[in-house]
Chain A
Amino acid sequence: MSIDYSQKIPNNVNLSDDRTLQRALEHWQPAFLDWWRDMGPDGSHNFDVYLRTAVSVDPSGWAHFEHVKMPDYRWGIFLQPADAARRIHFGEHKGEAAWQEVPGEHRANLRRIIVTQGDTEPASVEQQRHLGMTAPSLYDLRNLFQVNVEEGRHLWAMVYLLHRHFGRDGREEAEALLGRRSGDEDNPRILGAFNERTPDWLSFFMFTYFTDRDGKFQLCALAESGFDPLARTTRFMLTEEAHHMFVGESGVSRVIQRTCEVMRERDLHDPADVRAAGVIDLETIQRYLNFHYSVTIDLFGADQSSNAATFYSAGLKGRFEEGKRDDDHLLKSDVYRILDVRDGKLAEREVPMLNALNEVLRDDYIKDSVGGVARWNKVIEKAGIPFRLTVPHKAFNRKIGTFANVHVSPTGEVLSEAAWQANMDKWLATDADRAFVASLMGRVTEPGRYANWIAPPAVGVNRQPVDFEYVRFN
């Protein structure tokens, strides 16, 4: 499908045939650009950045790389090509033709789902807006900016759905998406993790590994939706989301690799010595991991949720890989084992699966995120260092659901308040840890040079060398 570049907004949704919608979006676009100037990457507007732009939805449409100024990035609206025969494949409407318009009875819920998803996109740009000042290389700076512009495009994608399908309410919600601010006391972003700070690059890599992976699972669940425009929009967003997880996985991996190199070369073991050598000790990396992992799994919501059941039964939001599962896709008589606290201990119990769908998605997420941690451990193992990163217990440091009111150690023991307070600093990144990591951050601008605390990447972007001038500062 080709994209009409003569349009102000590149798209494959026949925008030019719908003047009302086009005008609404054209009105929103200046507001978006204002938001980008105020809240987008700090001080970056004049940089030429080697970015990948989606120009069409077929595989070859992904190969479009060039240096562009970010405010000129072509934020487009792309939907996966339609399948006219597509049917709803789960919930009570199973077997009916997928909806092309919003069914009245599900309007409020769908709008809520879209707004919640849409809110995370500008939020992460806001969280990351100062990171460009301390990028460890041009390569990393470029990756940060690529993540940022794609989050911007994802916002566009959600705003398109709001404008196209939700009338006045939708337009108001779209405006509100530009009004909230990450971490703002009066008008914060909707979800907790998106109001946390991303103060340094280790946080950024952990965020893109863990929190963008939450994005992947949410998008996968929405890509199953009976509301076809939502399914097709999110399906297309997944390809971009994959890049964000790559930035995270390879970023953490390169930090680990560099630490291990220095530890081995200088025969260092004590974390204090490792820090003195200017690299991040593995213990600190573990504490960052614990924090980001636990904050992120809260994003899946309460372990028992009637909303989740409603969304599923109504055909609005499926499970991860719904189409690949062989059950009845109604789940009315299925059960799921969730964790509970009983007599001061964690114990499993069976609940109706429909009410536990948040937990189902969380468990799928956990399985997926553990894989990358195992790959990080391979890097440590290869260096011959007897240390392994671990993923904490899923009840550790939770603020939402059954475990919000108990303290659980990373290995899964229920703790007293006193025991938690006494050990917290061993498990979660402390102010001192963050201050140390922040002390290493400083912008490296010479092509091919990488900060001391991180290894160069194995391959460059789009077959370019690692010393390519990924960003020109002008």
Chain B
Amino acid sequence: MGAPDIIKQHLIDPEICIRCNTCEDTCPIDAITHDDRNYVVKAEVCNGCNACLSPCPTGAIDNWRTMLRGQAYPIDAQLLWDELPPEVPLPEGEIDAIARIAEDSKMPAAAVQAVEASRHTSPKAPWSAAHPYVNLHGMRAPVTATVAGNYRLTADDASSDIHHLVLDFGNQFFPVLEGQAIGIVPPGTDASGKPHYIRMYSVASPRDGERPGYNNLALTVKRVDQDHDGLPVRGVASNFLCDLAKGDAVQVVGPFGNTFLMPNHREASVMMICTGTGSAPMRAMTERMRRNIANFDGRRLLFFGARNQRELPYFGPLLKLPKDFLDIHFAFSRDPEVPRRYVQDAIREAGAQVAVLLADPHGYVYICGLKGMEEGVLAAFADVCAAAGQSWPDLEATLRAEGRLHIETY
């Protein structure tokens, strides 16, 4: 996920790699190939699932370059390398554009490659998480889903066009858990004749389906119709998805993700922090708990940021949820009525509750949205903890070790 034209390109360091073939064997979607000289990653296939990282005996596998998508190193070039090229800073205009998008607190839904995992996130799932299925369908064997519904979520006069899309899997085995993502394979090829990138989308519905008992799931998709400079551009996957009609077919790969999963034990409390379409996994978890409320005694705290309420997906339905089920704190950064406010401001305001949940051994934290929010949220946690006489670094270490801090930013 990330800005539409910026990718984190996955590369293998040829000076450290020993050509053992482990990564190529491990990759669930055949993104890695080799010749007599080098092992290389196909930028247009890799979805950043990181399955290859742990088995690599050398660490050569763990290299990433922030690139303009059009300038990603093709494998022909990588195969000739004796060493990694130096990191080339992005052009000024692009940096500004990224900053502007981050400030926008909206997720550009035309996801590109998933990026390097945050160093703060837990490497494991909550102990009571259900066991996820992952990588059932790779690039070579995508599964075909059918569109069962496609609705616009944002107000007609809102500047962003966010859709709620329901995909049906018929009798095919494609189980997903709340917090997992799926990959969409846009049809056709790009200008140079290569297949389009797979885009990753977090599932927005609970495990038993968008409609309980149906083999379907929901996605939250924002149409990308301009680039960072405000010039018109068509985001390939997001436009494809937003324009689908009921009955259309979609090629899907996945599921992906085995750590950003919800706890299932009775005492568990969750704190969810998101912006824009980063709300998708939060909606899935909340809905799971709402449908099975008799089995969940903990608290649910939601911090949700957007430009204003018209741009906020699921704003209406959220307001209908009782406060004792979901304690919602909105933060609007472009509301003419109120001063600019970001999720970290809302967290500081609710400091006492936040501190209690962070210190609760059954408290679980989920953060999903643009990369820019991560630092702000963690800083707010540090302040909140300090005020409560706790040490955030110690607490963070415990949360990470116990699978209680999950961050997905892009």
Residues on A lying within 8 angstroms of B by beta carbon are 2, 58-63, 216, 238-239, 241-243, 245-246, 249-250, 367-368, 371-372, 375, 378, 458-461, 463
Contacts and interface: CB of A to CB of B under 8 A. Distances in A.
Contacts of A378: 15, 82
A459 B22 contact: no
Given A63-B123, A242-B57, A463-B59, A458 B16 contact: yes
Given A59-B55, A62-B54, A459-B59, A242 B22 contact: yes
Contacts of B53: 59, 63
B54 A63 contact: yes
B398 interface: no
B15 A59 contact: no
Contacts of B55: 59, 62, 239, 242
Among B21, B37, B82, B258, the most chain A Cβ lie within 10 Å of the Cβ of: B21
B58 A371 contact: no
B136 to A, nearest CB: 13
Given A59-B52, A368-B19, A459-B58, 5 more contacts: A238-B22, A242-B22, A246-B18, A372-B18, A458-B16
Contact of B18 (A58, A59, A239, A242): A242
**Which 4 A-B pairs rank lowest in CB-CB distance, beginning with the nearest?**
A242-B20, A243-B57, A62-B54, A59-B51
A460 B22 CA distance: 19
B119 to A, nearest CB: 9
B18 A250 contact: yes
Interface string B12-47: 000110111110011000000000110000000000
Contacts of A60: 51, 54, 258
Among B15, B55, B59, the most chain A Cβ lie within 10 Å of the Cβ of: B55
B131 interface: yes
B227 interface: no
A262 to B, nearest CB: 20
Given A2-B131, A243-B57, A459-B59, A371 B19 contact: yes
Contacts of B345: none
30 contacts: A59-B51, A59-B52, A59-B53, A59-B54, A59-B55, A60-B51, A61-B54, A63-B123, A238-B22, A239-B22, A239-B55, A241-B20, A242-B20, A243-B57, A245-B18, A246-B20, A246-B58, A249-B18, A250-B16, A368-B19, A371-B19, A371-B37, A372-B18, A372-B19, A378-B15, A458-B15, A458-B16, A459-B16, A459-B58, A460-B59
B47 to A, nearest CB: 14
Contacts of A61: 54
A388 to B, nearest CB: 15
Contacts of A459: 16, 58-59
Among B36, B51, B59, the most chain A Cβ lie within 10 Å of the Cβ of: B59
Contacts of A371: 19, 36-37
B5 interface: no
A42 to B, nearest CB: 25
B99 to A, nearest CB: 28
A368 B54 CA distance: 23
B54 A250 contact: no
B36 to A, nearest CB: 7
Contacts of A239: 22, 25, 55, 57
A238 B24 CA distance: 13
A216 B36 CA distance: 17
A238 B51 CA distance: 16
Nearest to A244: B57
Interface residues on B, range: 20 to 34
Interface string B127-154: 0000100100000000000000000000
B57 A246 contact: yes
A249 B18 CA distance: 7
A335 to B, nearest CB: 25
Contacts of B82: 378
Contacts of A59: 26, 51-55
B62 interface: yes
Interface string B100-127: 0000000000000000000000010000
Interface in B66-100: 82
A463 B62 contact: yes
Nearest to B52: A59
Nearest to A247: B57
B12 to A, nearest CB: 13
A473 B82 CA distance: 39
Contacts of B21: 242
A331 B166 CA distance: 53
Nearest to A375: B15
Among B18, B25, B52, the most chain A Cβ lie within 10 Å of the Cβ of: B18
A459 B19 CA distance: 17
A371 B22 CA distance: 16
A75 B25 CA distance: 23
Contacts of B62: 463
B387 to A, nearest CB: 32
Among B20, B22, B52, B57, the most chain A Cβ lie within 10 Å of the Cβ of: B57
Nearest to A241: B20
Contacts of A249: 18
Contacts of B22: 238-239, 242
A390 B151 CA distance: 67
A149 to B, nearest CB: 14
Interface string B327-350: 000000000000000000000000
Nearest to B19: A371
B397 to A, nearest CB: 14
A367 B36 CA distance: 9
A456 to B, nearest CB: 13
A463 B119 CA distance: 11
Contacts of B59: 458-461, 463
A245 B20 contact: yes
A368 B36 CA distance: 9
Contacts of B37: 371
B59 to A, nearest CB: 4
Contacts of A238: 22, 25
Nearest to B21: A242
Nearest to B22: A242
A77 to B, nearest CB: 18
Contacts of A241: 20
A321 to B, nearest CB: 9
Nearest to A220: B21
B296 to A, nearest CB: 24
A166 B37 CA distance: 42
A213 to B, nearest CB: 9
Interface in B394-409: none
B272 to A, nearest CB: 24
Nearest to A243: B57
B17 to A, nearest CB: 9
A368 B52 CA distance: 21
Nearest to A248: B18
A371 B82 CA distance: 13
Nearest to B56: A242
Contacts of A460: 59
Contacts of B26: 59
Among A60, A62, A250, A368, the most chain B Cβ lie within 10 Å of the Cβ of: A60
